[in-house]
Structure 1
Amino acid sequence: MPSAVAIRPIAPAATYALRHQVLWPDKPLEYVKLADDHAGHHFGAFRRGELVAVISLFVTGAEARFRKFATRPDCQRQGVGSALLRRTFTEAQRLGARHIWCDARQDSAGFYARFGLRPEGEIFYKGPIPYVRMAGQLQELAGHEADGNPA
């Protein structure tokens, strides 16, 4: 049984190492920093006091976007990312957002679909990696991912 996960706000700089390790290990660390990190809401998932997943949320009016969602490889498929994403949806609603989206790596689209997010638009590329925009209405997303398949 996986140990409990604590999710709490963190500073933007606290996200950088995991963003780099998981998302873009072949790029310089500067590549994972966002110009608007200072305007975001950043959350970390901690297991036994150790940071194992991060996500960054940006809210503008009724629109929310999450970015740089990264879970340490040895902690994937254990519910950590699912818990972090649910917390992000809750926080986006609390901040007044009604719609949420992300640019998802195409190989992760199924994970987001379990939460009720749906693809919008065409596949696009960041370097060699295919992406698709995934989006949904926050009110409609509540209660999704009830099939018990942790991420």
Structure 2
Amino acid sequence: MHDSFDICLIRPEDTYALRHQVLWPDKPLAYVKIEDDSTGHHFGAFRQEELVAVISLFVENETARFRKFATRPDCQGQGIGSALLRHVFGEALRLGAARIWCDARQNSAGFYARFGLRPEGETFYKGPVAYVRMAVAL
């Protein structure tokens, strides 16, 4: 499936529409912007010319964090998000990270576990949505 889409760097503002549509459609667009978006590395998966998945990577010293990982609902389950996450793991390593983590929606924890991420700490909530911090050594 990987040959039917391309992954490349994109601008922070290019992530906002998908972040909004997939993650927080009931919130204002401003809600999906991250204060330090300008310091991140943002990647998009494109099918033909259409942006279908986004993820943002932040690396500080030897620790990387990915945030705002969103795949268009009609493109989920096709390997696009998995390829994007693998790409980000590779980029984190290239940028000197030894560990990567995220705040995962609890209903996505199984997906992340397939990449070796393991829960750390207690469940917490952002509004009504349950999250768990997950991490793995690279």
Identity across aligned pairs (percent)? 75
Map of 1:97 onto structure 2: 97
Stretches of structure 2 that go unaligned for 5 or more consecutive residues are none
Q: CA offsets per residue over residues 64-98 of structure 1, 9 Å max, x none?
A: 00000000000000000000000000000000000
* 2:38 counterpart residue number: 38
TM-score under structure 2 normalisation? 0.98
Which letter maps to 1:33? K
2:84 maps to 84
1:43-75, Cα deviation, whole Å (9 max, x unpaired): 000011100000000000100000000000000
TM-score by length of 1: 0.90
- For the residue of structure 1 that corresponds to 2:25, the secondary structure is coil
Contact 2:2 2:80 survives alignment (8 Å): no
What residue in structure 2 maps to residue 108 of structure 1?
108
The equivalent residue for 1:123 is 123
- What is residue 149 of structure 1 aligned with on the other side? none
Displacement of 1:121 in angstroms is: 0.3
| Contact 1:3-1:48 within 8 A present in 2 as well | no
Contact 2:2/2:83 (<8 A) preserved: no
Residue 24 of structure 1 corresponds to: 24
Secondary structure of 1:116's aligned partner: coil
Equivalence for 1:134: 134
C-alpha separation in 1, matches of 2:93 and 2:49: 27
Q: How many residues align?
A: 138
Could you list the structure 1 runs, at least 4 aligned residues long, displaced by more than 3 angstroms after superposition: none
Residue 4 of structure 1 corresponds to 4
